Structure 1
Amino acid sequence: MAMEKSPPPAPHFLFVVSGIQGHINPARRLAARLMASAPAARVTFSTAVSAHRLMFPSLPSPAGEDVDDTGVAYVPHSDGYDDGYKPGVHARDDYMARTRAAGTESLSAIVAALAARGRPVTCIVYTFLVVWAPAVARALGIPSAIYWIQPAAAFAVYYHYFHGHGEALASCANDPARGAVVRLPGMPLLRSDELPSAVSIVSPEHKHYLLLAMLRDLFEDLDELKPRVLVNTFDALEPDALRAVPDLEVVAVGPVVPDGEASLSSSSTDMFRRDDASACVDWLDTKPARSVVYVSFGTLLSMSKRQEEEMRRGLEATGRPYLWVARQGAVDGGATLDSAPTPAADAGGGGGEGDAQGMVVEWCDQMKVLSHPAVGCFVTHCGWNSALESITRGVPMVAVPQWTDQPTVAWLVEARMGAGVRARLDGEGVVERGELQRCVELAMAGGGDGGVRARAERWRERAAEAVAAGGSSERNLRAFASGAVTQAVCSSR
């Protein structure tokens, strides 16, 4: 009798993600959407042990496994810093070699263990700071894809930086008058203050040189392996940038943000504790529609004491109620990759003398806040996750970019979308109180069909269309999932 063929293995996506909240969140959300696009698929999510133990503090072992309510399994890998990377303790020069060695060994062991359990990995999806992941995929003969969690415009700028335009970009970014412009293939003109900060780095002594070195390694692997590039954006927002790198297949799969109460619930496993999560919403419930200024600069950025004071005075000067997320230790402090922000110690704290006007907390559920009808604008550092969340809720923004891709995000928000206002910084990089007041008033104003609010609402509609059934991003993700299924079947024959 002829032997019956065993069924082909189910497609199994292994997400490999750095232990930073801003990388974990969009990767987890894409993992859940991928499972929805390919119901027969398995998805395993692996981040660094230091982050994993913060996401799952009740596990008996830091390396213990868990499964969330979407069916995504969580298995941590070691990046060589299982207690977290501490810049003041660990040598920066050792970082890349140590993470590469530990990550390669750990990820290879995870893949082998999954195969031994009858769950062979058929595709590795990685984010851009785990630059050693593509080499592991190549060595194990596993197809890979990169999930680019910044704008397509930032990806295009970095690509051209490492492909013949590095000198021009560095010269533009370091123009002392801030009036220089640069034109890259397939891209519109970009000013010096619209470029990602990494392209301004010209010395290995720069405090962020490690980021540039990691990007260089990443793009060298992209040149060799040419994986599919999945970008957390959508076609209507960045049509030029998505086509500005013809040597690679760059496709939009976003905006990848929670899209309802179910998503909010299923995406709630993060490194924050969620005590008194309802306090912000209860406070917002007492405010009129579109009256509240929401302020948050994310989980990594620190704020100088002067900037804190100018921010507080500027918010008070607006005369509007405000909700300000000010993480403990973020003033004159430095966040590290292993930082774990803590919940609000005083969820009802106010802004100095005007404490009836404002509410200051250390954490809030940002999507619930942005979805609340009382919120009228968002003062943001322009992290891409925050910007996309604001776009999908139709909330106008006041852009206060600091570093990495944030200047490029601010350009998209103000110049390309018209859905926000970019604040001008003084010589010390501070937004003064009068400038903040000016920008908030512009963002909060109605302005009719041509106003910032109306444009923000139109972009909300376009973002929703992209991820709806049959939308451009939904089709791209479904095609990626289907291709992986086909690839898994063919490789088993």
Structure 2
Amino acid sequence: MVVRSINTDGGISGVHVVAMPYPGQGHINPMMNLCKRLASFGDLLITFVVTEEWLSFILSSAGSATPPPNLRLRSLPNVTPSERARADDFPAFIEAVYTKMEEPFERLLDQLEPAVSAIVADSYLPWAVAVGNRRDIPVASLWPMAASVFSMLYNSDVVAEHHPFPIPISEVGEEYVDYIPGVPRIRLADLPTLFHSSTGVDRMRWFKESFKMVPKATWLLLNSCDELEASAVDAIRSLLPSGVHPIRPFTLPPSPSQGKAGFVASYRAEVDCSAWLDGHPPNSVLYVSLGSFMSVSAPQMVEIAFGLRASGSPFLWIVREQEWLAKEDFDGKGLVVSWCSQMKVLSHPSIGGFFSHCGWNSTTEGISAGVPFLAFPIAVDQTCNSKMIVEDWKIGLRVRGSNMDGSGDNELVGREKIAEIVKKVMDLNRKSSKEMRRRCKELGEALNRAGQRGGSSDASFNSFLNQVKAKGRAADLCLPV
């Protein structure tokens, strides 16, 4: 096994927390942001564990950024397929995560000093809870998605009693369900796509293994807060014996002096778009990003491109592996790049809309920045997040999704519709756009207050932190807790 570190332990003693994220960008970055916050308390030592491949990505992305002295990186062998090929055979990737990472992780624990006080592991790594239980180490299970999605998946058997899987979207139409704890009335078509396809149902067996272990963890950390999902958070608290801590989305807004995004994980080189954005008026640019993993078809990319061109709005588009788009000048209106610091871009005053796949990280980042959405969900939890954006919070419009307009997952959304919705959101004089922006600003301010001193998530985080420290001190003294 290769064990690498980017810094020394800095002479720090006391509570030692080991963090183990699921090996995917949308999971690693929230875990890293949580660990940076934990590390801001100088009496904790944080060991952040990733595969060798992901360690190289992090080191490359960090550039000159330096982590806190009490945050160190360690690596496991590359026992999972490469991130660059993860989407090519996703079932094989999941199986490797669930079956091949536990043994090298345990070997690493044996090598670490000082002794491990607590483990924070992604909820999709059930074996991490088992390891902690065997070693009498308390484990915090970190749920990286929306609390509502946790309730939907945790209660999948309840849904199956009413609608056997897979649920055919073409047949359920406008049928709603209102029996999932903490989840407002929702269309069957808006449930995670795992419920709707035979491949998704097959993958759900792995996820059920994860949910079996969550109650055996000492804590459940929710990547959400009461301000966004109070009913779901309350329902989860009533379901689980674990200490449930909603600790706000783990997104750190960039500081004005920040160049790179800092310590993040990505295998694509970041492009600084600041100068281009500076040349546009406030709220005039549409930011377009469909995520770091899932993809849409080439014909759909063409429709999006022509729709953006026809809308007349300037746009910044993050595109992976579509070289022909990078050569287009879009009449001087568009900038196409491979990667950027998303939170930095969303926080720029020129950004007036977010054309998004509605992944949870992107959703909470857009809300935090107060930017309205054009919802284009692709898979997994994104349909649920899109529903919350459009129907519950009313801070965006659907571009695609849930057969609302007869368009299924395999049908194209045409350029005319895309251009029409872009115009509706980006027209600052339109009454509906003004109202959407007002609601988004208010929700963003509430979300940000939750993480500030005295806010609901700040209090929840401090409660968790104090419990971790107490268990760590008791273990050092061999006292019961």
Q: What's the TM-score once normalised by structure 1's chain length? A: 0.84
1:107 corresponds in structure 2 to: 105
TM-aligned CA distance change 1:169 to 1:13, over 3 Å: farther
Q: Which residues of structure 1 form unaligned runs of 5+?
A: 1-7, 60-65, 330-344
> In structure 1, which of residues 346, 350, 354 is the aligned counterpart of residue 328 of structure 2?
350
- Residues 103-148 of structure 1: CA distance to partner in whole angstroms, max 9, x if unpaired? 222111121111xx3x111111111332321111111111001111
Measured after TM superposition, the shift of residue 58 of structure 1 is 10
Mapped contact 1:287–1:374 kept (Cα < 8 A):
yes
Measured after TM superposition, the shift of residue 255 of structure 1 is 2.2
- Residues 400-425 of structure 1: CA distance to partner in whole angstroms, max 9, x if unpaired? 01111101111111111111111245
Mapped contact 2:166–2:195 kept (Cα < 8 A):
no
Mapped contact 2:13–2:44 kept (Cα < 8 A):
no
1:293 corresponds in structure 2 to: 286
TM-aligned CA distance change 1:210 to 1:26, over 3 Å: farther
> In structure 2, which of residues 228, 241, 247 is the aligned counterpart of residue 237 of structure 1?
228
In 2, Cα distance between equivalents of 1:20 and 1:477 = 24
Alignment-mate amino acid for residue 209 of structure 2: D
1:258 corresponds in structure 2 to: 252
Alignment-mate amino acid for residue 487 of structure 1: K
Alignment-mate amino acid for residue 42 of structure 1: L
2:73 corresponds in structure 1 to: 74
SS in 1 for 2:34: helix
Mapped contact 2:76–2:105 kept (Cα < 8 A):
yes
TM-aligned CA distance change 1:160 to 1:82, over 3 Å: closer
Measured after TM superposition, the shift of residue 267 of structure 1 is 3.6
> In structure 2, which of residues 152, 157, 166 is the aligned counterpart of residue 157 of structure 1?
152
1:307 corresponds in structure 2 to: 300
Alignment-mate amino acid for residue 383 of structure 1: G
Query: Is 1:26 matched with 2:26?
Result: no
In 2, Cα distance between equivalents of 1:148 and 1:309 = 35
> In structure 1, which of residues 380, 388, 399 is the aligned counterpart of residue 364 of structure 2?
388
Measured after TM superposition, the shift of residue 157 of structure 1 is 0.5
> In structure 2, which of residues 461, 470, 478 is the aligned counterpart of residue 477 of structure 1?
461
Deviation larger for 455-464 or 262-271:
262-271
1:10-409 equivalences in 2 (<5 Å): 10-36=14-40, 38-56=41-59, 68-69=67-68, 71-78=70-77, 80-81=79-80, 86=85, 92=91, 96=95, 98-114=96-112, 117=113, 119-162=114-157, 164-168=158-162, 170=164, 173-177=167-171, 178-183=173-178, 184-201=180-197, 203=198, 206=199, 208-209=200-201, 211-223=203-215, 225-245=216-236, 246-248=238-240, 249-261=243-255, 265=260, 267-274=262-269, 277-278=271-272, 280-328=273-321, 349-351=327-329, 354-409=330-385
In 1, Cα distance between equivalents of 2:48 and 2:145 = 19
Alignment-mate amino acid for residue 127 of structure 2: W
In 1, Cα distance between equivalents of 2:68 and 2:145 = 27
Measured after TM superposition, the shift of residue 85 of structure 1 is 8.4
TM-aligned CA distance change 1:82 to 1:379, over 3 Å: closer
SS in 1 for 2:352: strand
Measured after TM superposition, the shift of residue 250 of structure 1 is 2.9
Mapped contact 2:425–2:433 kept (Cα < 8 A):
no
SS in 2 for 1:244: helix
Considering only aligned residues, what root-mean-square deviation do their CA atoms show, in Å? 2.9
Alignment-mate amino acid for residue 190 of structure 1: I
Mapped contact 2:146–2:223 kept (Cα < 8 A):
yes
Mapped contact 1:179–1:191 kept (Cα < 8 A):
yes
TM-aligned CA distance change 1:44 to 1:419, over 3 Å: same
In 2, Cα distance between equivalents of 1:234 and 1:91 = 30
Alignment-mate amino acid for residue 16 of structure 1: M
TM-aligned CA distance change 1:113 to 1:308, over 3 Å: same
Measured after TM superposition, the shift of residue 364 of structure 1 is 1.6
Mapped contact 1:131–1:214 kept (Cα < 8 A):
no
Mapped contact 1:172–1:180 kept (Cα < 8 A):
no
In 2, Cα distance between equivalents of 1:95 and 1:189 = 31
Measured after TM superposition, the shift of residue 227 of structure 1 is 3.3
In 1, Cα distance between equivalents of 2:90 and 2:456 = 44
Q: What's the TM-score once normalised by structure 2's chain length? A: 0.86
Q: Calculate percent identity across the aligned residue pairs.
A: 27
In 2, Cα distance between equivalents of 1:443 and 1:70 = 44
- Residues 445-472 of structure 1: CA distance to partner in whole angstroms, max 9, x if unpaired? 4427961111111111101110000101
Question: Which runs of 4 or more aligned residues in structure 1 lie more than 6 Å from their structure 2 counterparts after TM superposition?
Answer: 87-91, 345-348
Measured after TM superposition, the shift of residue 95 of structure 1 is 5.6
SS in 1 for 2:336: strand
TM-aligned CA distance change 1:288 to 1:144, over 3 Å: same
TM-aligned CA distance change 1:397 to 1:90, over 3 Å: closer
Measured after TM superposition, the shift of residue 325 of structure 1 is 0.9
TM-aligned CA distance change 1:89 to 1:424, over 3 Å: closer
TM-aligned CA distance change 1:404 to 1:360, over 3 Å: same
TM-aligned CA distance change 1:266 to 1:35, over 3 Å: farther
In 1, Cα distance between equivalents of 2:253 and 2:341 = 14
Measured after TM superposition, the shift of residue 169 of structure 1 is 5.3
TM-aligned CA distance change 1:415 to 1:360, over 3 Å: same
Mapped contact 1:9–1:489 kept (Cα < 8 A):
no
SS in 2 for 1:251: strand
Alignment-mate amino acid for residue 451 of structure 1: E
In 2, Cα distance between equivalents of 1:349 and 1:69 = 40
TM-aligned CA distance change 1:89 to 1:196, over 3 Å: closer
Alignment-mate amino acid for residue 203 of structure 2: L
Mapped contact 1:172–1:182 kept (Cα < 8 A):
no
